[in-house]
Amino acid sequence: MDHRSPAHVLSGWRSSRPLAHKPDAKIAILRENEDIAKEAVKGFRDGLGSGSGQLIVKEQSYELSDPTIDTQMLTLKASGADTFYDVSSPKFAAQGIRKASELGSKPLHFLVYGSQSIQAVLEPAGLENATGIISATFGRDPTDPRGKDDPNTKDFLAWLQKYYPGGKASDIFIGAGWAFAQRLVYVLKQCGNDLTRENLMRQTANLHNVALPWLLPGVTLNTSPTDYQPIKDMSEMRFDGKTWDLLTE
């Protein structure tokens, strides 16, 4: 059975992106000292292939109990890296973005999916400091003006106003919760009247090209009894100082 985390699988997809933007990249990595971040870095290295040892010039980790990551950021800057793969949780991602700006460091910055919230990460870091950061997503952006007439966006915004009026549509964690709930509803419907754990697991492990309203067009859910990772495609995006702008269709 494939127990790889989403971070591992998706970081492998993203690992080719720094080279697409900067073929001669000198890459620095910051990660949390936890298993999921270690898997993300492993996926990143695997994606880079045999040249990863030459491309990655420095890797630093931090503990959740650390008050800041100032020391790690100073070390990464001193490495001479011009590309930054940031596998940090939200609090430390915000610190890293702000510290890089304070140090006058302007690397090509790739930010892990779980820390791309505008409200929880980029605003505390300073939107001007976060401008130009690249990440990736599989879901729709409810703040994108190009989707203002999309019925799925309208449904989400109506739900948000009714059940969480204090929440912001720009908070990716709210959108993620909405998306996760859609997947759960789909699987429960597939179970019919048989809501045993065995049938729930059977249905969860047999998703084939399932398109749900909150997924980007072309992104579908696919699983099998040996592969529990449903999302295998993402679209690259760049923060423009106000919102995330998709770079790929």
Both 239 and 152 in a single domain? no
- Per the listing, tokens 């140090």 go with 103
- DSSP-derived letter for residue 121 is I
Both 132 and 33 in a single domain? yes
Both 80 and 145 in a single domain? no
Both 118 and 239 in a single domain? yes
pLDDT digit string, tens, across residues 131-186: 999 999 888 888 888 778 889 899 999 999 999 999 988 887 888 888 889 999 99
Both 134 and 202 in a single domain? no
Range list of H helices, the chain = 6-14, 17-21, 35-48, 52-55, 70-78, 90-102, 123-125, 127-130, 151-163, 172-191, 197-204
> What is the mean pLDDT of the segment spanning 4-32?
66
Both 134 and 12 in a single domain? yes
pLDDT band of 21, cuts 50, 70, 90: confident
In a domain, 1, yes or no: no
In a domain, 71, yes or no: yes
Over 60: is that where the pLDDT of 11 sits? Answer: no
> What is the mean pLDDT of the segment spanning 96-112?
94
pLDDT of residue 159: 93
* 6-15, 42-51, 193-202: least confidently modelled range: 6-15
CATH (domain of 40):
3.40.50.2300
Query: Which among 56, 10, 237 has a CA at the least distance from the CA of 131?
Result: 237
Structurally, how many domains does the chain consist of?
2
- State how far the Cα of 25 lies from the Cα of 99, in Å rounded to an integer: 21
Range of the domain at 183: 141-227
Both 90 and 166 in a single domain? no
pLDDT digit string, tens, across residues 44-88: 898 888 888 899 999 999 999 999 999 999 999 999 999 999 999
Both 92 and 132 in a single domain? yes
Both 27 and 58 in a single domain? yes
Both 134 and 145 in a single domain? no
Over 70: is that where the pLDDT of 191 sits? Answer: yes
DSSP, residue by residue, 22-67: -TT--EEEEEESSHHHHHHHHHHHHHHGGGHHHHEEEEEEE-TT-S
> What is the mean pLDDT of the segment spanning 18-22?
75
Contact 13, 20 (CB under 8 A): no
